[in-house]
Structure 1
Amino acid sequence: MDAHAIVTGIKRGNRPAAPPIGFIAHLDTVDIGLSPVVRPQVLRFKGEDLCINRQEDIWLRVAEHPEILDWLGEDIIVGDGTSVLGADNKAAIAVIMTLLARLDHEVGHGDVFVAFVPDEEIGLRGAKAMDLSRFPCDFAYTIDCCELGEVVLETFNAASCEIGFTGVSAHPMSAKGMLVNPLLMAMDFISHFDRKETPECTEGRDGFYWFKDLIANDSEAILTALIRDFDTDGFNRRKHRIAEVAEQMRSRYPTGNVRYQITDTYRNISTSLARDERAVALLFKAMEELGIGKKVIAMRGGTDGAVLSAKGIPTPNFFTGAYNFHSRYEFLPVPAFERSLEVALKICQLAAFD
């Protein structure tokens, strides 16, 4: 473990000609304002609503979560409704640790590197701080979120923005023509963006602006926003729009001030994957041999693999099997969980003998 709390390790192989491969998962779970205490439980889904917390009368209702119908008669791992389950991404940690234990009993495999990183949920900070000399693999796999069979070969391009508004404070008795309210400046700034280009109004390959936080007092307001777009040109246009609106605001409030900073967070992994097709080819072959239908998706988010891919280690993402991540109704079907492990094992085997 290094100074950033990043844990890396290696499972030495017995097939020297095999390419070194890696698996990465993040240690942190998302904070959505619920309890930090997770109380997982295993319930059998029999086709009826699941009571996950009798004391608080919290139910996972089939009408609201029809995706659970695919798991009739199966065991489901779920929390108690007072927190997220945290399968995103503790499920992947369990898969990787079990993989390392199971590799002791497999016929052969090459060197397998593993990494567990913190702070994925707050900007992929752990992956960005990785010392790649401790993770010297040809290619790797992120195991993160996603239902059975889902594979991520494309992510958003992402940036974070901080827009600062400096106003002019004044007492209400003499405010006319003098007061510049930084809170209203921030609201005015937001109004220049299409309300339909927000996360709740977009899907598929649509990009968006997400105004996340606003802190203000009489003199200053700080607005934070996220930019997301799959297309590089569209991504750059969105960043330009932030700058354009900031300039308009400076003209509108000449006695105030507007400043902004845009920081790239991660890039679409698709370009990096195209440079070395072995990672994707092995993943698809593993799923085919296991009889798992692949569902290739463009992830409306990012993974640690987006950082590694940008640094030269092609890193696609495959499923843990969980549903409703970042929700009190997150659940993980046990059979899907087990299939995630089977894919990881099969990849190691195929890499050793292909």
Structure 2
Amino acid sequence: MIEKKHITDRFIKYVTINTESDPDNPSFPSSENQWDLAKVLVKELTDIGMEDVTLDENCYIMATLPSNIENKVPTIGFVAHMDTSPDFSGKNVKPQIVENYQGNDIILNEEKNIILSPDYFEDLLQYKGQTIITTNGTTLLGADDKAGITEIVTAMEYLIQHPEIKHGKIRICFTPDEEVGKGAHKFDVNKFDAEWAYTMDGSQIGELEYENFNAASAIVTISGKIVHPGYAKGKMINSLHIANEFIASLPPEEVPEKTTDYEGFFHLHNMKGSVEKTVLEYIIRDHDLDLFEQRKYLMQRIAFDFNEKLEQDLIEVDIKNQYFNMKEKIVPVMHIVDLVEEVMKEAKITPIIKPIRGGTDGSQLSFKGLPCPNIFAGGHNFHGRFEYVPVESMIKATEVIVGIAQKVAKKFT
């Protein structure tokens, strides 16, 4: 149905445009280079025949595929994000194409001895005989979420080229800054005007997700007092030592590398300090709202207890909520998930319905009134040098989008 070379070429065109977002810039978009991909996409959407193609002042692209049936059916949407994660470089991406993969080690960079191995990344073995696109070991790939963009554009193009496939009105949107948590902040749900939508932002083939973490950030600031170390007894307060005790006071097993499925965690992802001042940056995650609130309380309680013991207010904890579990917004409209499950099974894809150990634009959109489950885009090992995507998974994701359009037209006619 979908030509392999066509979807590969489109994907490579997108990932070679640097769109790394900037967590320290409050502007929209947070990096100017996101406009580069946005402009390419606007032209491409126009060229393939999409209507109402718009690019707003905040770098959100929206476009319409009009209905080709007489009966009125629900308007649905598909969403993906243009930025790549600032966790790893997205500049000068040089994709490598591995044809007919045979389950062997893939040398990403011979000079630096960087190897993508199924001994460590076992999921590779399920793609024997397929075409895999990898990095060259020095950057991320950008399948998160340029695979999703590729699939949405290709599906819209296919539907335009095959008017015999009946569908209702379809809206699409490509957002900036999802990777820095702002992707849905300025998403105009009223302008989008769909009854529900799907983010194409999942990982391996078959993933279908309607639960995600409740999420918060926590900045722990610890104040100390610097005194000449030769005369420090009874006077110096070393914030680094207090920081070490604070870290050790949190449950040691409740960290990302030791948790899975519905288990929540505290993740220390950055720390910077000196004797005088240390700052710890955490993210707090849990699927269960009550446990999520308990985690936030625990951090505040540890700080309070330390300050009591030290008889000084040396520790401050600033916690900000980021997003919430979209499950409560999706369960009342579970038919939008059931519909995708049917489409996947008809396409001979085994649905993998599981909670997202993260968040998507769909979480915030669901709370803004646009129910928005998440569908696989096909990539693996996001945010790093070992990221890869099988071309066949992108083709299957494209087929799922087309299948959803058909299914909605049939079910609601």
| TM class, shorter-length | over 0.9
Q: Does 1:277 align with 2:334?
A: yes
Q: Does 1:28 align with 2:28?
A: no
Q: 1:183 and 1:6 mapped to 2: Cα distance?
A: 43
Aligned to 2:158: 102
Aligned to 1:167: 224
Identity over aligned residues, as a percent?
A: 34
Contact persistence 1:180–1:256 (CA under 8 A): no
Aligned to 1:118: 176
Q: Does 1:211 align with 2:289?
A: no
Out of 48, 62, 66, the position equivalent to 1:12 is: 66
Aligned to 2:104: 48
Task: Give, in angstroms, the shift of residue 33 of structure 1.
Answer: 3.8
Aligned to 2:292: 235
Out of 350, 353, 374, the position equivalent to 1:293 is: 350
Task: Give, in angstroms, the shift of residue 34 of structure 1.
Answer: 4.3
* 3-state DSSP of counterpart to 1:226: strand
Out of 119, 125, 133, the position equivalent to 2:190 is: 133
Aligned to 2:114: 58
Unaligned 5+ runs, structure 2: 1-54
Q: 1:89 to 1:318 in 2, by over 3 A?
A: same
Contact persistence 2:202–2:374 (CA under 8 A): no
- Aligned amino acid, residue 32 of structure 1: D
Q: 2:213 and 2:347 mapped to 1: Cα distance?
A: 29
Structure-2-length-normalised TM-score:
0.81
- CA RMSD in angstroms comes to 1.8
Aligned to 1:199: 256
Out of 80, 89, 93, the position equivalent to 2:145 is: 89
Q: Does 1:311 align with 2:365?
A: no
Contact persistence 1:166–1:219 (CA under 8 A): yes
Q: Does 1:147 align with 2:201?
A: no
Q: 1:115 and 1:47 mapped to 2: Cα distance?
A: 36
Task: Give, in angstroms, the shift of residue 278 of structure 1.
Answer: 3.0
Structure-1-length-normalised TM-score:
0.94
* 3-state DSSP of counterpart to 1:128: coil
* 3-state DSSP of counterpart to 1:236: helix
* Structure 1 range deviating more: 195-204 or 13-22: 13-22
Contact persistence 2:95–2:141 (CA under 8 A): yes
Q: 2:310 and 2:371 mapped to 1: Cα distance?
A: 47
* Structure 1 range deviating more: 84-93 or 33-42: 33-42
Aligned to 1:182: 239
- Aligned amino acid, residue 68 of structure 1: L
Which of the pair has the greater relative contact order for Cα pairs under 8 Å at 6+ separation?
1
Q: 1:265 and 1:164 mapped to 2: Cα distance?
A: 19
Q: 2:227 and 2:113 mapped to 1: Cα distance?
A: 50
C-alpha deviations, 1:280-337, integer Å up to 9, x for none?
Answer: 1221121122121111111111111111112221111111122222232222111111
